[in-house]
């Protein structure tokens, strides 16, 4: 059996109950352990590694649920969704959808949104970045209203009835999972997730600022985007462009 087929069959043995697999015949016992016991050890390690991978990629969900409930959920997911890949970075693509069907989603109705946000973060993280170049230095203020801003390809805005951005930042700040009991997640939030250079960042927005960015992402010029957000406070407008500059969001200014 070549190595590729060995990997495929070995993964099938430890991720399913396929005891009839031809690889069973090639597994050697260890000490006093029989083949079934050896497979059981490998299977436990397999579940543990995939659970740890889910914990790495969905730390904010882990923060919300706490250690016991998260790893109980992760074990259930792993057992019902055997891995078909050797690269752990590609595991868990269906985890947000899986959350929808769990009792935890009813208890924390934002879990699917939160997991989807974190999945976007990792998708952006693994994309190749480009060095930041400041587009504002050469700007003629008189032309500002006519500009169209070309945003990086890897970016998205989001709005939620819940505090998704704050929960996500709690995950990044490595808060203790016991802090979730005192976390007020019921506040609506709007934010912008982006990749610039080699960093993935998140900016909290007001609803008006989000509307402006959405209009700019649709290809509208600055003046038209501001007009469509007519009720926004001028100070919020100034703050938005200051945030884009200070966070070094890579923009291309197009006339």
Domains of the chain (ranges; CATH) run: 3-124 (no CATH), 129-254 (3.90.930)
pLDDT digits (tens, 9 = 90+) for 199-222: 999 999 999 999 999 999 999 999
pLDDT at 45: 77
Q: Which two tokens stand for residue 12?
A: 């099938």
Q: In terms of pLDDT, which residue wins out, 27 or 235?
A: 235
Residue 34 has pLDDT above 80, yes or no: no
pLDDT at 108: 94
The mean per-residue pLDDT over the stretch 20-28 comes to: 56
The per-residue pLDDT of the chain, averaged, comes to 84
The two beta strands, 189-196 and 155-160, are antiparallel
Express as a percent the part of the chain with pLDDT over 70. 77
pLDDT confidence tier of residue 251, bands split at 50, 70 and 90: very high
């Amino acid at each position: 059996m070549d190595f590729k087929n060995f990997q495929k069959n070995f993964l099938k043995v430890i991720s399913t109950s396929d005891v009839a697999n031809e690889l069973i015949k090639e597994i050697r016992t260890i000490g006093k352990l029989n083949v079934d016991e050896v497979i059981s050890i490998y299977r436990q390690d397999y579940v543990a590694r995939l659970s740890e991978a889910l914990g790495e990629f969905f730390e904010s969900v882990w923060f919300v649920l706490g250690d016991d409930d998260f790893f109980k959920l992760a074990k259930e997911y792993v057992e019902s969704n055997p891995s078909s890949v050797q690269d752990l970075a590609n595991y868990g693509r269906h985890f947000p959808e899986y959350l929808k069907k769990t009792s935890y989603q009813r208890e924390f109705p934002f879990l699917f949104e939160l997991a989807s946000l974190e999945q976007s973060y990792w998708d952006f993280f693994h994309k190749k970045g480009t060095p930041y170049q400041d587009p504002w230095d050469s700007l003629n203020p008189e032309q500002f209203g006519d500009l169209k801003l070309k945003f990086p390809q890897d970016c998205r805005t989001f709005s939620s009835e819940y505090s998704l951005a704050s929960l996500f930042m709690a995950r990044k700040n490595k808060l203790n999972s016991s802090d979730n009991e005192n976390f007020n997640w019921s506040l609506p939030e709007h934010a912008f997730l982006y990749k610039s250079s080699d960093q993935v960042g998140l900016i909290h927005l007001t609803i008006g600022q989000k509307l402006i960015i959405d209009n700019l992402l649709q290809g509208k010029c600055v003046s038209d985007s501001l007009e469509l957000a007519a009720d926004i406070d001028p100070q919020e407008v100034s703050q938005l462009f200051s945030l884009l500059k200070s966070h070094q969001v890579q923009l291309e200014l197009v006339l």
